[in-house]
Amino acid sequence: MVDFSAVKAIDFHTHAEEPCNHGRDDGYNEFQAGMATYFKNPAGAEGMLPTVQDTAAYYRERNIAAVIFPVDAERETGFRRYSNEEVAQICAENDDILIPFASIDPHKGKAGAREVKRLVRDFGVRGFKFHPTMQGFFPNDRDACYTVLEACAEEGVITLFHTGQTGVGSGMRGGMGMRLKYSNPMHLDDVAVDFPDMPIILAHPSFPWTEEGLAVAQHKPNVYYDMSGWSPKYFPETFIRYANSILKKKMLFGSDWPALTPDRWLADFADAPFKDEVRPLILKENALRLLGESNG
């Protein structure tokens, strides 16, 4: 298991991008090329995406623990999802550094709820990643997704929702069919009311709805923010001000690996105007509390 007293940070947002149980589907190279252009990073190019094993080695070398997950968006994108079970198994083989999350399209309803319970009970999954834009749903649509969210709440796991704009489909014809409206963080205000004991993480600074996201995180005790997907040097001033004050115990370091590397994120974080007493909270201590872990 991860020795949390020894790692220097916890990256709460990394992706299992390279298929671990099948080859690339038609159109997947074009999708990843668009991501590489958006993030100005070659990680999406053919042969450049890291496997889960590669990710473990990378983070182990840096002594950073990492929450990792695939994204189940096959219904909307046509790309076959990666095996939650296989990702979890590789995490178990690298449990000194990787923390397993999974992903289930909430439209899968009762079947998805059963999968949630099985993954938690049999594979040790600690949380679930949802991407409203890639999965095509409003988080507060009770008919579309509450069956799966109810299972998450019953199992006592963390839920992590993409919020704001996305690099997925950016610059592609019709945005690859991705609709940004689903990822307004204000939709998660309803989720936080309906599931008041379920930890909810807003992923990314929620642009262009940053202030809405900050309002939800401030108002609802069970809502947190991960700071992934953006270099800290581009964080809005309001976002930094809240992170330095009333949300300092709710902000989590996240990179968005492999699109944005922790090396770049941490280097820019060091130069950003965060208070000295806030930095360790963001890098590790808030994540420890959310995961129910001690610092040794």
What is the domain partition of the chain in residue ranges? 9-291
Q: Looking at the domain 9-291, which fold is it?
A: TIM Barrel (3.20.20)
| Cα–Cα distances in angstroms (integers) from residue 151 to residues 1, 68, 140, 155, 191, in the given order | 25, 20, 15, 6, 13
What is the rounded distance in angstroms from the CA atom of residue 72 to the CA atom of residue 98? Answer: 19
Fill in the amino acid letter for 251. M
Q: Which pLDDT does position 128 carry in this prediction?
A: 98
Contact 224, 199 (CB under 8 A): yes
The count of other CB atoms within 10 Å of the CB of residue 37 is 14
CA distance 17 to 50: 7
91 sits in which H/E element: helix 84-93
pLDDT value of residue 20 = 43
Report the pLDDT value the prediction gives residue 36, as an integer from 0 to 100.
60
Instruction: Map residue 8 onto helix, strand or coil.
Output: coil
Asked whether 6 and 62 are in contact (CB, 8 A), the reply is: no
In the chain, DSSP assigns E strands to 9-15, 64-69, 98-102, 127-130, 158-162, 200-203, 223-226, 251-252
Q: Closest Cα partner for 80 from 31, 42, 138, 139? A: 31
**Quick one: pLDDT at residue 204?**
95
pLDDT in tens, the chain (296 residues): 899 999 999 999 999 975 544 455 555 556 555 556 655 665 555 555 788 999 999 999 999 999 999 999 787 666 667 899 999 999 999 999 999 999 999 999 999 999 999 999 999 999 999 999 989 999 999 998 999 999 999 999 999 999 998 767 667 677 767 788 999 999 999 999 999 999 999 999 999 999 999 999 999 999 999 999 999 999 999 999 999 999 999 999 999 998 899 999 999 999 999 999 999 999 999 999 999 997 75
pTM of the shown model: 0.90
